[in-house]
Amino acid sequence: MANIIFYGTKKCLECKDIKSFLNAYEQKFHYIDVDEDAEAAAYVEKINDGQRLVPTLEIDGEVMTNPGIKELMAKLDVQPDESKHFFDVAIIGAGPTGLTAAIYLQRDKYNTVILEKKNIGGNAFYTALIENYPGFTNISGPELMMKMAEQAQTYGAKLDMGIDVTNITRSNGYFHIHSNNKHYTARAVIIATGSTYRQLEVDGENDFLGSKIHFCAACDGPFYEGKELVVIGSGNTALDESIFLSKMVKNIKLISNKVEFSASKTYVDKLPGIDNIQTYMNKSTTAFVKDAENKFEGIRIKDNATGEEELLTSDGAFVFIGMIPNTQFLEQTEVELDARGFVITDEDSAKTSIPGLFAAGDVRKGAIAQIAAATGEGVLASYNVKSFLKD
């Protein structure tokens, strides 16, 4: 058994995810909250070039900062439970769509496995506060997603973590799901892999990803308490997360490349009443800038009308400019994708161009990026699957 020292905080959502993984695989660890232990906090900053980055783990003396599930599985030499390998349904993705589909299918006694590459809950896991999910006026993303996962497992669904699906093939009426760890066989498949955050792809971006450039306000916002931020984006997510961040930081410069925000009126109307959010409209971000010591200084923006450029100094940046579907593993299949990579389905169902293979949630063309909508898509996909398997 490995010797694991785990440095984290109560506010760190990724820490909760790694805790769940370690507990699921019965890995003992010593947990230290760096917000409550000044000596530990200083040590974490020392081994992370002066930054208090969590989760940080020491496994048999080797430091791992914010490791992925796949990395942890390799380091700890653990493998998914292979006691079962054939299923009625394989669901790829453990977000709200995949978990809901699993609940409905397993409840009707369809032997179901959920394959997840990274974390339970997908992007919803990183939402600090959910106020518009029916039945809950105030619940965190991790809490809601864990409830869904527990419910699916209570009914008997199998959840395999750290599974990076690389291809799906079909022969003799069965689907074969190929991954980094093992091979699964199923009578039907639901693609519920969601989407990932889009990057700006400008100068300096790769130098600061994960350290000063972030995509999750709930995860990384607390590290900027009392500091200054830039938020880049025009839609609902950019404004919603700016409003959330404004409660903990000193100042936010909100940058939109449009003349008007594309967000709903509900969010736009809130901005004038928030003194520490300043808006910069019709400005494009052209670079992330370093200072003389190669540390993050801020961003360079250009006025789209005049071409004039200026430097906006900041302690960090959050980028919310849309999503990219997680469908790379489908590129070598015959599943029909649109120009952006979203899965094309029938208008009123989750059916794809391949019979028995379904797609639901944010990965599907035309889907609504809301948790309640995602759960509804999971229900729809489950009914489509049941109809297919009965034929």
CATH code of the domain containing 230: 3.50.50.60
Is there a domain that residue 179 lies in? yes
Is there a domain that residue 253 lies in? yes
What pLDDT does 81 receive? 55
State whether 315 and 210 are in the same domain: yes
Is there a domain that residue 277 lies in? yes
State whether 215 and 278 are in the same domain: yes
State whether 267 and 234 are in the same domain: yes
Torsion of CA 324, 328, 333, 339, to 10 degrees: 40
Pick from 213, 210, 346, 317: which is nearest to 255 by CA?
317
What pLDDT does 85 receive? 74
Q: In a 10 Å sphere around its CB, with 0-12 CB exposed, 13-18 middle and 19+ buried, how is residue 182 labelled?
A: middle
State whether 240 and 311 are in the same domain: yes
State whether 185 and 334 are in the same domain: yes
Is there a domain that residue 296 lies in? yes
What pLDDT does 84 receive? 44
Number of domains in the chain: 3
- What is the spatial distance between Cα 152 and Cα 105, in angstroms, rounded to a whole number? 9
Edge-first strand order for the sheet with 213-214 is: 213-214, 316-319, 228-232, 251-255, 277-280
Q: What angle do CA 388, 390, 391 make, to 5 degrees?
A: 70
Task: Identify the domain boundary among 319, 344, 365.
Answer: 319
State whether 182 and 328 are in the same domain: yes
Using 70 as the pLDDT threshold, list the residues of the chain that sit under it. 13, 24, 80-84, 128
State whether 191 and 211 are in the same domain: no
Is there a domain that residue 45 lies in? yes
State whether 275 and 365 are in the same domain: no
Is there a domain that residue 133 lies in? yes
State whether 314 and 327 are in the same domain: no
Q: In a 10 Å sphere around its CB, with 0-12 CB exposed, 13-18 middle and 19+ buried, how is residue 21 labelled?
A: buried
Is there a domain that residue 81 lies in? no
Task: Identify the domain boundary among 267, 290, 319.
Answer: 319
Exposure string for 138-175, b = 16+ CB within 10 A, e = fewer: ebbbbebbbebbebbbebebbbbbbbbbeebeeeeeeb
State whether 239 and 312 are in the same domain: yes
Is there a domain that residue 339 lies in? yes
State whether 291 and 258 are in the same domain: yes
Task: Identify the domain boundary among 58, 76, 94.
Answer: 76
pLDDT in tens, 51-89: 889 999 999 999 999 998 778 988 999 876 554 478 999
Q: Is the entire prediction scored with pTM above 0.75?
A: no
What pLDDT does 128 receive? 67
CATH number for the domain that contains residue 21: 3.40.30.10
Identify the domain containing residue 364 by its residue range: 86-196+323-390
State whether 160 and 133 are in the same domain: yes
- What is the spatial distance between Cα 21 and Cα 267, in angstroms, rounded to a whole number? 36
